[in-house]
Amino acid sequence: MAGDGELRRVIKDLQKTIAELNRSYREQNLPVTDGSRELHSLCAQLEFLLQFDLKEKKSFFGQRKDYWDFLCQGLAQRRQEHEGVRFVTSLDKLKTPVGRGRAFLRYCLVHRQLAESLQLCLLDPESLSEWYYARSPFLSPQRRAEILGSLYELDGITFHLALHRADLDTAWPMFSETLVRPSVVKMTLQTEGSGTGAHGCPDGIAQPVAVPHRMPACPSPSAGGEEEDDVEAEENGEENMEDDEKEEDMPSTAEAQYSTNMDPNLTPTPDPGLTPGSPVHSAMEASLRAQVSQLRAELGRQEEAWRAQLEREERQHRQKEERSAQQAQEEARRWQEVAEERAARLDEAMAEVAVLTSRLQECQAAMQARGQTDAPAQMAALEEVLRRALELSRGPLMDNQKEGDLSTVAGMAMRLAALVTATQEEALQSRQQIQALREEVVRLQEQLSRARQDGERWASALQRTQREVQEREAMRGAEQARQQELIRDMKGRLLELLREKDALWQKTEGIDPQAPSPAPRDVGLCARCGKDFRLLSRRYSCRLCQGKVCHACSMDMGKQGRCCLLCYQQRHPQAT
């Protein structure tokens, strides 16, 4: 199994191949054909990426599914009736999913739809997880963007490829199959003889010779070089491809030609029962009119139903959009309140951190000031006490004449001892204060670290909240896009129904109503029974066909007057 290193190498090779195709197309300004080495590399690399880490699935009949089934399912889920899928499905010569997938990729290259079609299939992450394992490049957003970005560069390149190929089930078309140059074919044909007019076609287009890719046997004479011959050969190859596509319609064309080449003198003999005015003809026209009216009514009902359904879905879509917009606004407002609250807490924590930092600095400054001021004072006091003690101790020894009192020396010693004791107590208190200040500093540092941790936690929570809000906005936009696409599909379906209705209407318009029968030349006879109108006999003019009929051959239609029996039966088929 290929690893990540090989996958990265294939993606880089794909990008290099596409860049080489772009460069050669800009330099030569010629379409890419099956004879291109870069085209063969591009198809192989793209197929490798589509088959990489693909899950093994089988159809109902046990046939292994491939990326062709994934592309069909992806396009069907996006409600895209792709012309490429319809074209590949119509190719009966391709039997395997691999061959159909290759034909689909070639069709998309020719019609500049490869990147767009592949992007439609990669929009649904659930479908991707259903078809591919975790190592697939299409499950990585970065690699997927790189592949699609490279494939979109192919939209500016023209591809002339043979779409009707039956050998795609086995392998891609090799570039060595189309390396026969038209100049060699032309030289071969010229060595056969100069009598091409006797063997060619009357219009100057000869029958094809057994040459790879059906090169034309009678090329038009030109004085250009080999490049012009190559372009001419490619154009003729495309015309031959179109001729092959049109060969499928040959049976129907032959049948039409056979029907048109029949003897025009052989006119069909009319059925005597279907002559105008006969009961069978009138009954047939009545049934046709009934069918036409039924079809029109059904079309009207169907159109009303589709319009009602479209209006209902549009109403539901508007309501859903309004609800989703309200929910999004409420959710955004709620998240904004949460963000503001967390921002306020963060500001409070930062203010507390600042206060604690200032207190810590004040304590440190106080400790330093106290240590600098108290120590010199104590040292000076001790020096003064010792100096006085020494003076008092040396006084009686140096000067025996001076008055010395032992009580004074004892008092000075007691004072010295008391001063030393007080100094020791003050030093002990100073040490205790310094220890308390150190403990206060440690406690303030712990509070500062906790405050910083709280600030970082609130900042991360705020970022996470903002990211969730952005993701929800993106999901809501995607949902609105899907709903808009559904509405467009429904409108397209309604337009199709309207076109079908118009087509049926045009077909039914061809059924002309029965023309009114002309009035008899002899106005003195009944138009139906031929009875002679006498002086006192009643005669009526049919309001539909304007014929003169007697009382027995007419029917009363109320305020609308009277009409003949035939017109009444046509207007009222249920009447006997």
Greatest mean pLDDT among 40-49, 541-550, 552-561 lies in 40-49
How do residues 251-292 score in pLDDT, each as one tens digit? 344 343 433 444 434 344 444 445 555 677 777 888 888 888
Higher pLDDT, 315 or 370: 315
Mean pLDDT score, 86-97: 90
Which of the given ranges, 319-333, 407-421, 487-501, has the highest pLDDT on average?
487-501
Average pLDDT, the chain: 74
CA geometry: angle at 337 spanning 335 and 338, to 5°? 60
Tell me: pLDDT of 140 over 80: yes
pLDDT of 551 > 90? The answer is no
Kindly state the percentage of the chain with pLDDT values over 90. Answer: 16
- Relative orientation angle of helices 141-152 and 114-121, to the nearest 10 degrees: 160
Q: Which of 81-95, 172-186, 342-356, 512-526 has the lowest mean pLDDT?
A: 172-186
Average pLDDT over residues 417-437: 82
Question: pLDDT at position 259, please?
Answer: 39
Asked if pLDDT for residue 219 goes beyond 70, the answer is no
Would you say residue 531 has pLDDT above 60?
A: yes
pLDDT of 175: 58
CA pseudo-torsion sign 138, 141, 146, 151: positive
Give pLDDT, residue 189. 38
* Cα distances (angstroms) measured from residue 530 to each of 14, 265, 276, 300, 533: 93, 38, 19, 45, 9
pLDDT of 380 > 80? The answer is: no
Stretch 38-53: mean pLDDT, rounded? 91
Q: For the residues 83-99, what does the mean pLDDT come to? A: 89
Q: Residue 105 has what pLDDT?
A: 93
Rounded to an integer, the average pLDDT of 123-143 is: 90
Options 3.40.50.720, 2.130.10.10, 1.20.58.900, 1.20.1250.20; CATH for 4-178 is 1.20.58.900
CA distance 151 to 19: 10
- Per the model's pLDDT, the better-predicted residue between 370 and 45 turns out to be 45
pLDDT reading at 200 higher than 60:
no
Alpha-carbon gap, residue 210 to 174, rounded angstroms? 19
Of the listed ranges 276-285, 335-344, 484-493, 566-575, the least confidently predicted one is 276-285
- The ranges assigned to domains in the chain are 4-178, 279-509, 515-576
pLDDT of residue 397: 47
Q: How far apart are CA 246 and CA 540, in angstroms?
A: 64
Identical fold for domains 4-178 and 515-576, yes or no, is: no
In a 3-state reduction of DSSP, which class is residue 253? helix
Q: Which residue has the higher pLDDT, 125 or 368?
A: 125
Q: Place domain 515-576 in its CATH homologous superfamily.
A: Zinc/RING finger domain, C3HC4 (zinc finger) (3.30.40.10)
Compute CA distances 199 → 104, 205, 210, whole Å.
39, 10, 15
On the question of pLDDT at 207 being above 50, the answer is: no
Mean local confidence (pLDDT), 494-500:
86
pLDDT, greater one: 191 or 101: 101
Tokens standing for 526? 């009944």
Question: What sign does the dihedral 469-471-474-480 (CA atoms) show?
Answer: negative
pLDDT bucket at 182, cuts 50 / 70 / 90: very low
Residue 460 has pLDDT above 50, yes or no: yes
Q: For residue 164, is pLDDT > 90? A: no
Q: What pLDDT score was predicted for residue 375?
A: 56
Q: What is the pLDDT of residue 161?
A: 92
Local confidence band at 527 (pLDDT 50, 70, 90 cut-offs): confident
Structural Rg of the chain based on CA atoms? 52
- Nearest by Cα to 117 from 157, 158, 89, 76: 76
pLDDT at 20 over 90: yes
Note the pLDDT of residue 10. 92
H or E, element range at 541: strand 539-541
Say which amino acid occupies 231. Answer: V
Q: Which of 466, 486, 475, 483 is nearest to 327 (CA)?
A: 475
Predicted pLDDT at 391: 65
What local confidence, expressed as pLDDT, does residue 475 receive?
92
Question: What span, in angstroms and rounded, lies between the C-alpha atoms of 255 and 111?
Answer: 33
Q: What integer pLDDT is reported at residue 383 of this predicted model?
A: 66
Percent pLDDT > 70 in the chain is 70
Q: How many CB atoms lie within 10 A of CB 236?
A: 21
pLDDT of residue 12: 92
At 134, phi and psi to the nearest 5?
-70, -25
Query: What's the pLDDT at 267?
Result: 41
All residues at 6 or more sequence positions from 125 whose CB lies less than 8 Å from its CB, including other chains: 139
Bridge-based pairing state of the strands 562-564 and 548-550: unpaired
Instruction: Among 100-104, 267-271, 487-491, 557-561, name the one with the lowest average pLDDT.
Output: 267-271
Q: Is the pLDDT of residue 111 over 50?
A: yes
Mean pLDDT of 87-93: 89
pLDDT at 289: 82
Question: Picking from 35-49, 138-152, 405-419, which range would have the lowest pLDDT averaged per residue?
Answer: 405-419
- Of 331 and 150, the structure prediction assigns the larger pLDDT to 150
Instruction: State residue 101's pLDDT score.
Output: 92
Report yes or no: 63 and 97 within 8 Å, Cβ to Cβ: yes
